[in-house]
Homo-oligomer: A and B are copies of this chain.
Amino acid sequence: MSEPSRILHPGLRQKIMSADAAAALIEHGDHVGMSGFTGAGYPKAVPQALAKHIEQANQGGNKFRIGVWTGASTAPELDGALAKVGGIEMRLPYQSDPTCRARINAGEMDYIDIHLSHVAQFVWFGFLGKLNVAVVEVAGILEDGRLIPSSSIGNNKTWLDQADKVILEVNSAMPLGLEGMHDVYYGTERPPHRKPIPMTHPGDRIGEPYLHVDLSKVVAIVETHSLDRDTKFAAADENSQRIAGHILDFLAHEVKVGRLPPELLPLQSGVGNIANAVLAGLNQGPFENLTGYTEVLQDGMLEMLKSGKMVMASATALSLSRAGTKEFLDNLDFYRQRIVLRPQEISNHPELVRRLGVLSMNAMIEADIYGNVNSTHIMGTRIMNGIGGSGDFARNAYISFFVTPSTAKDGAISCIVPMVSHVDHTEHDVQILVTEQGLADLRGLAPRQRAQVVIEHCAHPDFRPALRDYVARAERSARGGHGGLHTPHLLDEALSWHSRFEREGRMLP
């Protein structure tokens, strides 16, 4: 027996069509705002149908390329499919797809890497041009046309508001029990009409559970039945566990000396294994009544909600493994009381991150001895993913942590370098660096003091002598009149580790 229709609005039922027919409404040169945030809630059918149209156009000698705007990263069915056929002229604000990445680094596709809290307002302000089409996945449509959001909200409110044409994918694989979990704040305005955002706790509901759309703009409804991509959730490796251990020790110490309350402060946790290891550690740790104020809710946080260690979590997306998804679906009523999903301009809002006093933990590619962090570029030139929300959180956090294993590529790369090859987070925004080797607390330290603790606490022992030697020679050079001793550097050598890696496949001779 088939499920009753999820499209309760009679007028919109008239707009049901195939993905192929819907994709045909998208034209060359369009800016298309798609749903999707870290592999959650992206449209499953229209982008693939569009990729076919693009491929056919290309085979017919016609150019067909679009701008793809999303919440954050999506999945092979969206970024992968469109990038494969060369259909993306410009991509923003974040991606993590291998085909996209290869195209961007080959110069075949433009990519604008934007703080995730900036995207919606840049569109409202008109800074990114006109949004032509929105393609947004929802879990259902109410009789009055209001939309039940899917597993992420991201920029969907903005895409629906700003686009000329709206294509909705109604995904019947999304649990209807999601209804009521979302909190869409419609109180945002453009300056000078902005008001304080009335939130003082991560669990506050300040909006409504539905998305609105001007029904006259809806040009197509496509029915789908497809789960989000599976977000792999691996058991923590030894390095991740050691990093988590250093962070837990630090947090315990901060509570002990009165710089953090016993229930800590709302946790923001980046995506990936180290983040999950930290959360797993907290789940075994001494802290109770924790809260989360983050972008993406992963298995690690779900388990903390389940255990009761965490009482409430706010995010803009649910990015779960298959096992996590099953746990979530089996206990939807439990989780609906403990999870709030919000638009990303709210989940990442500087006003709220600062007010709530978020403890921000993000992965990085490399840090330098003075505490500058590179989150995005391999050897200074190749984009990996993007800055995502790390800048929204790090600058406004109560304490901002950046974490990485101390080495990469079997020890050929040191993740602590004399000078980072690209800066995403300046020394001013980085309080704590952590590797499996240890934790560097940079609060209240001047640059040369920072270099000392970064090298001795975070660098891998194989690289410490070379880093100490660099610092010593840079200071000697400054004392000899070449450069200053505030932030000593040897300009001819500062990027030589990266350059050697490009030439020889290792950072040190």
Interface residues of A (CB under 8 A from B): 90, 104-107, 110-115, 118, 122, 125-129, 190-192, 194-198, 200-201, 257-259, 261, 265-266, 349-351, 354-357, 372, 377-383, 387, 391, 395-396, 398, 421-429, 431, 443-446, 448-449, 474-475, 478-479, 482-489, 491-492, 494-496, 498-499, 502
- Chain B residues with Cβ under 8 A from A259's Cβ? 125-127
- A190 to B495 CA separation, bound complex (whole angstroms): 40
Partner of A487, one of B258, B354, B380: B380
The answer to whether A486 and B382 have CB atoms under 8 Å apart is: yes
The answer to whether A483 and B502 have CB atoms under 8 Å apart is: yes
Which secondary structure dominates where chain A touches chain B?
A: loop
A-B contact pairs, 17 of them (CB 8 A): A105-B478, A115-B428, A115-B429, A118-B428, A122-B444, A125-B398, A127-B259, A127-B443, A196-B198, A351-B351, A381-B474, A382-B484, A391-B428, A391-B429, A426-B426, A492-B495, A494-B495
Copies of the chain in the assembly: 2
- A444 to B123 CA separation, bound complex (whole angstroms): 10
The answer to whether A445 and B112 have CB atoms under 8 Å apart is: yes
- Given A355-B196, A423-B372, check contact A491 B380 (CB 8 Å): yes
- Chain B residues with Cβ under 8 A from A382's Cβ? 483-484, 486
CB distance from A491 to the nearest CB of B (A): 4
CB distance from A86 to the nearest CB of B (A): 15
- The 3 A-B pairs with the shortest beta carbon distances in the complex, nearest first, are A191-B357, A382-B484, A107-B485
- Chain B residues with Cβ under 8 A from A396's Cβ? 350
- A104 to B484 CA separation, bound complex (whole angstroms): 8
Partner of A105, one of B192, B485, B489: B485
- Given A377-B487, A475-B107, check contact A265 B354 (CB 8 Å): no
CB distance from A367 to the nearest CB of B (A): 13
CB distance from A397 to the nearest CB of B (A): 10
- Chain B residues with Cβ under 8 A from A423's Cβ? 372, 423, 426
The answer to whether A502 and B482 have CB atoms under 8 Å apart is: yes
The answer to whether B191 and A195 have CB atoms under 8 Å apart is: no
The answer to whether A191 and B265 have CB atoms under 8 Å apart is: yes
- Chain B, Cβ-Cβ closest to A191: B357
- Chain B residues with Cβ under 8 A from A492's Cβ? 495-496, 499
- Given A198-B196, A421-B491, A482-B502, check contact A351 B357 (CB 8 Å): no
- Chain B residues with Cβ under 8 A from A349's Cβ? 354
- Chain B, Cβ-Cβ closest to A446: B110
- Given A104-B486, A444-B128, check contact A261 B192 (CB 8 Å): yes
